[in-house]
């Protein structure tokens, strides 16, 4: 077991909160660091309710190096789980400098402070976007990376490369890069879930907001792809499975691992229309939709080969599409405005 705390950067966000729950339930001591730009303290209050524990929280930005140092001075950190970063694909294309400064620059700050305090263990929240347009399917970890179609994906790719270079140069580091496919769903309690600010960038929060009456209809971009129904196919993974993948990765890292890369996905592809129909079934609500042309940068199909995670980490996704939709609907119907209560901004 880890000798010290797990520092979870971006731990008030969607995947972060679910991972904090799984870490606490597995007996780890957790410290959450989040600048709350894309998250709220309410999410962490709910983590405390779910687990019956109180999470230590620091409102610190990755770009604030003195604030980072302060956390490491005051706490014995064993490993960092690094989720923090900006993540809107469209915005990353409009504001690339902001994304490079925050995501890449912030990570360099974090790594420098880790090194200063001799903390050499990190698990990085990466993304299947590093693969770009697939050369083959399913995508395994040997697939080429770097052909990213947007600045957000490039920041993930650049951070991966930085971490690989550190491992090559300094052998004391243990690094695990987790490449997620498409996280959906929420904790079974319905207390925490995905709460996008403004118009959702991802399909399932948009569908759930249509079901709950916040949006009029879904726009389906592209109906002429080379897929069974002409709409884009993706690998959707339940966020609780994903969170448990991080705990499995941490247990693997505790044995000493050098630098490892793992896909976290189900290995199954579902189309946009498949997802809309599954959500209609789970919610009992119609999902009206209109069609539009393809969006720039979108690809026809993307799904994983996650067999390496099963082999090395003893992890595989267990929760199916029906469960993803059922848990997402419980979160959305219980929290129609997300973590914001009536009357708050």
**Tens of pLDDT, residues 42-61:** 999 999 999 999 999 999 99
Give the helix ranges, DSSP H, for 197-290: 203-211, 239-253, 272-283
Contact 12, 194 (CB under 8 A): no
Helix (H) or strand (E) holding 113: helix 106-116
CB proximity list for 64: less than 8 A, separation 6 or greater? none
Measure CA 76 to chain center. 25
Helix (H) or strand (E) holding 126: strand 121-127
Is the pLDDT score of 341 beyond 80? no
220 band by pLDDT with thresholds 50, 70 and 90: very high
Q: State mean pLDDT over 72-80.
A: 98
pLDDT averaged over the chain? 95
152, 157, 262, 270: which is the annotated catalytic residue? 152
Single pTM value for the model: 0.96
Q: What per-residue confidence (pLDDT) applies to 343?
A: 35
16 band by pLDDT with thresholds 50, 70 and 90: very high
DSSP state at residue 304: B
24 band by pLDDT with thresholds 50, 70 and 90: very high
298 band by pLDDT with thresholds 50, 70 and 90: confident
- Per-residue CA distances from 272 to 48, 127, 285 (Å): 34, 20, 17
| Nearest by Cα to 137 from 306, 303, 297, 309 | 303
Q: State mean pLDDT over 25-30.
A: 97
| Nearest by Cα to 85 from 109, 112, 113 | 109
Reduced to 3 states (helix: H, G, I; strand: E, B; else coil), residue 246 is: helix
- The rounded distance, in Å, linking the Cα atoms of 22 and 31 is 13
Q: What per-residue confidence (pLDDT) applies to 296?
A: 76
Q: Can 152 be counted among the known catalytic residues?
A: yes
- Tell me if the bond preceding 181 is cis, omega within 30° of 0: no
């Amino acid at each position: 077991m880890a000798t010290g705390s797990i520092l979870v950067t971006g731990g008030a966000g969607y995947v972060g909160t679910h991972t904090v729950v799984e870490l606490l339930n597995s007996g780890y001591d957790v410290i959450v660091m989040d600048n709350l730009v894309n998250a709220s303290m309410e999410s962490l209050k709910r983590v405390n309710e779910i687990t019956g524990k109180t999470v230590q929280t620091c409102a610190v930005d990755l770009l604030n190096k003195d604030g980072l140092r302060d956390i490491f001075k005051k706490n014995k950190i064993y490993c960092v789980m690094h989720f923090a970063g900006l993540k809107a694909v469209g915005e990353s294309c409009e504001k690339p400098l902001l994304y490079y400064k925050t995501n890449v620059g912030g990570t360099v700050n974090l790594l420098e402070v880790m090194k200063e305090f001799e903390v050499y263990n990190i698990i990085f929240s990466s993304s299947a976007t590093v693969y770009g347009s697939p050369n083959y399917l399913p995508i395994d970890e040997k697939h080429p990376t770097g052909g990213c179609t947007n600045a957000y994906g490039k920041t993930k790719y650049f951070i991966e490369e930085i971490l690989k270079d550190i491992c090559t140069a300094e052998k004391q580091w243990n690094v695990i890069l987790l490449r997620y496919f498409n996280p959906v769903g929420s904790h079974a309690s319905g207390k925490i879930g995905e709460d996008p600010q403004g118009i959702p960038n991802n399909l399932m929060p948009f569908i759930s907001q249509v079901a709950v009456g916040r949006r009029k209809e879904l726009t389906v971009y592209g109906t002429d792809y080379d897929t069974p129904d002409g709409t884009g196919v993706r690998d959707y993974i339940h966020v609780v499975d994903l969170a448990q993948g991080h705990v499995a990765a941490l247990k693997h890292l505790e044995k000493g691992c050098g630098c490892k890369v793992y896909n976290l996905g189900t290995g199954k592809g579902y189309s946009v229309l498949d997802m809309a129909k599954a959500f209609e079934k789970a919610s009992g609500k119609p999902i009206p939709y209109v069609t539009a042309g393809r969006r720039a940068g979108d690809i026809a199909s993307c799904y994983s080969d996650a067999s390496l995670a099963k082999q090395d980490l003893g992890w595989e996704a267990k929760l199916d599409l029906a469960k993803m939709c059922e848990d997402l609907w419980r979160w959305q119907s219980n929290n129609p405005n997300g973590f914001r209560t009536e009357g708050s901004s």
